[in-house]
């Protein structure tokens, strides 16, 4: 049966202006979604998703809501042709669906699992990338009454950073067509919508942008305007005769690269303007790696405007910032508050309060500007930037080879220009996605040279390096500069195509005297000589140095996840306690994320964002870090499944070793490769890296089923029940760490046990040679960190709980 037969059968195409039904090639990698406001017998919103060459369709009676508490009825209707996604007009009253149709939203959708399976099972989870609707959404089929032909679903917004708290704010805010700008009345009357304003003035030329000077703290006193620092590409937007142009900070024309912004920019009601701002990914504070992905893949972009250099024939640069801000607000007076062009907010309070607010919200930092100063190209102290996490640009000068298959380099060697010399600044060895590795590999190969480009002697860590012409700039997050002026814990954030290598300087921070005292990784550690592991004679200072050493490796697994801390302020012999919620007066480095609890209330959970957050927790007496199985940007989608093998007291470690290999083999047989970690206690964690597609309920249900099948197949060896009585002589296959809110010890974290043991990822060959799970201690980590991390490597190749995997599990159960 043709899926469009029902659509054809209900329409007379000699009368209705609706498109004729045709199935199109379903090969598009960015399937369309469209929402049409439809005033038929009753007003509703038609929600459509392109798949299989047609538009799956639902009539949402009250329209979509960004409030996750609102579950909107969505009645499944007949499939529509893909061409219907461009239809706006009036259907004759006598025809099926007679009434006015407005194109209310358009974009593309991203299924989070197999769409056809989801449609059949009645659960569709997806992300929308539209002009008005974005973020995570779900369509869930309701149970129908017996004999009922109508197929009722619910359209629900998922809890993420795009969710809102007002039921109909989205509908009330957008009352015009997303394409023509017309109202329902104008569409019904057949009139044209408002045309983009004619820009009658000459388009201003590019001019050198003003730059901020980096300081450790924002300026004090009045007379400063404070704004959040964005993590994106600096741009000048030029508007005038001939349309709009976007220029990078060094004058390159980036209009084609940010084409999605040209329409909204062209709609600004100005004759001519030159507006300074920043392009970011999505609509929050931005993430530089996400921005690069958005530019590459066509994702959503936002331009935050923060200064006006020219408006309607008047050069504004000699005017004070307060006047330029008024001009900017006039130029942007008609833009929607959550549109693609936005006004950068001015933050209330003094600089310290503003920076604290930005950092608490997970932002990058603050830019403070003198309200009475003119706009001057180049760097000056009229603009001061202060960062939550230290970040800087460095020039790539070479790389060290990797011994890992498929990885083109182990780390990048970087430098900066200081007073006419090119100075070595250290290594950057983490933060690279597979796309980053491939792109940088091509860049390095094309610019290789003989000999180091640095001036002066080089440290031993550069031996064997391969060198390149220093012409490419990267952005790096780091903990601090060492006394030698080298970065610690460098994390790659992106290739800066908008910056010139000759302009890159590390500034005075690289030359500051770090001094002595009890400071580790930039964090002051009180009572460093306090013994926290009595039998091993390990002090609080030694714990801090351990976490400073392993921070980069630990954060590969633990960053951006809600974390619970095991705090032992007096040492392991004293009263230790777990803490998962942030307390009053906690250090700003320990960021927080609001999470809804089971009782409906919301609490602030902590998460780790960098080495400073790890060490800030250690300063408070933390010994252990326990993390969620999901990251804060998608708390509803776990990215790993953990089985904790917990042996009965009388069992030796050889039984645990055998059990881990047993799980590995069974998981591999059903299509789920895994890795292993000795916990520093008695057991082993078997970890399956997952694509972020399945819900907690799905992952928990799968893990529970797997554990029970294993116990049924070998009841003399395993139990899937927590009961101590049933565990006698057996290993408890703990699957309970796979539910929302459950935690597991983080790799490279210490354990609050005698001997100062550490949880360490191991290869399967290595596991077979170990005689206990607590064999690695704090003293072993210096040598250990020089090896590859098998769990981190496994996480680069996540799998999914697909229909085929579930079928394989069911087949295995039948064989039991």
β-bridge mates for residue 274, sequence order: 238, 310
58's tokens: 């639902």
595's tokens: 């999470």
**Cβ(155)–Cβ(58) under 8 Å?**
yes
> For strand 365-370 and strand 448-449, is the pairing parallel, antiparallel, or unpaired?
unpaired
Q: Provide φ and ψ at 351, rounded to 5°.
A: -60, -40
What are 187-190's contacts with CB under 8 Å, separation 24+? Answer: 187/88, 187/89, 187/90, 187/100, 187/101, 187/102, 188/39, 188/90, 188/100, 190/90
3-state secondary structure of 93: coil
- Helix, strand, coil proportions of the chain in percent (round to 5)? 25, 30, 45
CA angle (450 as vertex; 445, 456 as ends), nearest 5? 120
Instruction: Supply the DSSP symbol for 152.
Output: E
Q: Provide φ and ψ at 603, rounded to 5°.
A: -125, 150
Tell me how crowded residue 501 is: count the other CB atoms within 10 A of its CB.
20
Q: Is 229 a catalytic residue?
A: yes
Tell me how crowded residue 632 is: count the other CB atoms within 10 A of its CB.
21
For residue 73, give Cα distances in angstroms to 46, 103, 106. 12, 20, 20
Please compute Rg for the chain using Cα positions: 29
765's tokens: 């060959």
**Cβ(704)–Cβ(735) under 8 Å?**
yes
β-bridge mates for residue 304, sequence order: 278, 342
Which of these is catalytic: 229, 369, 499, 682? 229
Instruction: Supply the DSSP symbol for 718.
Output: E
- 3-state SS of 476-535 is EECCEECCCCCEECEEEEEECCCCCHHHCCCCHHHHCCCCCCCEECCEECCCCCCEEECC
Instruction: Supply the DSSP symbol for 639.
Output: S
Distance CA 795, CA 747 (A): 13
Question: Which residue is it, tokens 């960098």?
Answer: 610
β-bridge mates for residue 244, sequence order: 239
**568 conformational bin, left if phi > 0, alpha if psi -120 to 50, beta if neither:** beta
**Cβ(172)–Cβ(37) under 8 Å?**
no
605's tokens: 């959970």
Distance CA 742, CA 758 (A): 20
Catalytic residues: 229
């Amino acid at each position: 049966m043709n899926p469009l037969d029902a659509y054809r059968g209900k329409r007379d195409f000699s009368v209705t202006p609706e498109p004729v039904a045709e199935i199109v090639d379903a090969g598009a990698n960015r399937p369309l979604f469209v929402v049409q406001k439809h005033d038929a017998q009753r007003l509703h919103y038609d929600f459509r998703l392109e798949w299989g060459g047609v538009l799956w369709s639902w009539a949402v009676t009250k329209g979509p809501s960004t409030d996750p508490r609102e579950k909107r009825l969505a009645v499944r209707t007949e499939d529509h042709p893909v061409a219907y996604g461009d239809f706006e007009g009036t259907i004759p009253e006598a025809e099926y669906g007679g009434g006015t149709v407005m194109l209310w939203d358009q974009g593309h959708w991203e299924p989070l699992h197999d769409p056809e399976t989801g449609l059949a099972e009645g659960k569709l989870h997806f992300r929308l990338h539209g002009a008005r609707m974005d973020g995570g959404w779900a369509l869930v089929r309701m149970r129908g009454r017996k004999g009922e032909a109508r197929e009722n679903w619910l359209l629900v917004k998922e809890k993420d950073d795009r969710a809102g708290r007002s039921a109909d704010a989205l509908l009330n805010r957008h009352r015009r067509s997303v394409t023509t700008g017309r109202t329902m009345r104008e569409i019904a009357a057949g009139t044209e919508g408002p045309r983009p304003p004619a820009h009658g003035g000459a388009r201003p030329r590019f001019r050198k942008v003003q730059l901020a000077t980096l300081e450790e703290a924002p300026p004090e006193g009045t007379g400063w305007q404070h704004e959040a620092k964005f993590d994106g590409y600096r741009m000048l937007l030029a508007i005038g005769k001939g349309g709009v142009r976007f220029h990078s900070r060094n004058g390159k024309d980036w209009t084609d690269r940010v084409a999605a912004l040209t329409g909204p920019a062209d709609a600004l009601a100005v004759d001519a303007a030159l507006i300074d701002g920043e392009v970011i990914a999505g609509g929050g504070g931005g993430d530089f790696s996400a921005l690069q992905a958005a530019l590459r893949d066509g994702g959503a972009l936002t331009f935050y405007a923060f200064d006006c250099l020219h408006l309607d024939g008047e050069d504004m640069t000699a005017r004070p910032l307060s006047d330029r801000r008024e001009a900017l607000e006039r130029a942007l007076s008609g833009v929607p508050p959550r549109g693609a062009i936005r006004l950068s907010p001015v933050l209330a309070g003094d600089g310290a309060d503003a920076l604290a607010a930005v950092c608490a919200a997970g932002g990058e930092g603050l830019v403070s500007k003198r309200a009475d100063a003119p706009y001057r190209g180049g760097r000056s102290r009229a603009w001061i930037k202060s960062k939550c996490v230290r970040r800087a640009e460095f020039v790539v000068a070479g790389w060290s080879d990797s011994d890992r298959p498929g990885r083109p380099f182990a780390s990048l060697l970087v430098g900066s220009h200081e007073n006419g010399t090119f100075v070595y600044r250290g290594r950057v060895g983490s933060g690279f996605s597979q796309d980053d590795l491939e792109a940088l590999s091509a860049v390095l190969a094309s610019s290789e040279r003989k000999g180091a480009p640095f001036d002066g002697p080089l440290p031993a860590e550069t031996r064997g390096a391969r060198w390149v012409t220093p012409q490419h700039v990267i952005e790096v997050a780091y903990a601090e500069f060492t006394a030698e002026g080298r970065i610690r814990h460098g994390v790659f954030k992106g290739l800066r195509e908008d910056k010139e290598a000759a302009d890159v300087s590390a500034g005075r921070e690289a030359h500051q005297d770090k001094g002595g005292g009890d400071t580790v990784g930039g964090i002051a550690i009180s009572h460093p000589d306090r013994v926290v592991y009595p039998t091993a004679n390990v002090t609080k200072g030694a714990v801090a140095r351990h976490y400073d050493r392993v921070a980069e490796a630990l954060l590969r697994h633990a960053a951006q996840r809600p974390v619970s801390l095991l705090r032992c302020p007096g040492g392991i012999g004293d009263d230790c306690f777990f803490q998962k919620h942030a307390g009053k007066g906690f250090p700003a480095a320990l960021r927080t994320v609001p999470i809804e609890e089971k009782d409906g209330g919301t609490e602030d959970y902590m998460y780790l964002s960098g080495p400073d957050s790890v060490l800030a927790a250690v300063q408070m007496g933390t010994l252990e870090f326990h993390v969620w199985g999901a990251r804060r940007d998608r708390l509803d989608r776990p990215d790993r499944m953990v089985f904790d093998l917990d042996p009965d007291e009388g069992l030796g470690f050889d039984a645990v070793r055998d059990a881990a290999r047993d799980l590995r083999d069974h998981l591999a047989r059903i299509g789920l490769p895994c890795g292993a970690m000795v916990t520093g206690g008695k057991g082993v964690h078997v970890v399956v890296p997952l694509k972020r597609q399945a819900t907690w309920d799905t992952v928990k249900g799968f893990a529970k089923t797997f554990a029970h099948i294993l116990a049924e197949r070998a009841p003399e060896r395993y139990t899937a029940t927590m009961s101590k009585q049933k565990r006698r002589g057996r290993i408890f296959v703990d699957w309970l760490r796979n539910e929302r809110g459950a935690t597991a010890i983080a790799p490279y974290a210490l354990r609050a046990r005698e001997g100062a043991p550490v949880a360490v990822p191991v290869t399967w060959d290595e596991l077979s040679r170990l005689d206990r799970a607590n064999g690695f201690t704090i003293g072993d980590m210096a040598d250990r960190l020089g090896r590859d991390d098998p769990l981190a490597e496994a996480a680069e190749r996540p799998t999914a709980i697909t229909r085929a995997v579930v079928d394989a599990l069911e087949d295995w159960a039948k064989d039991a």
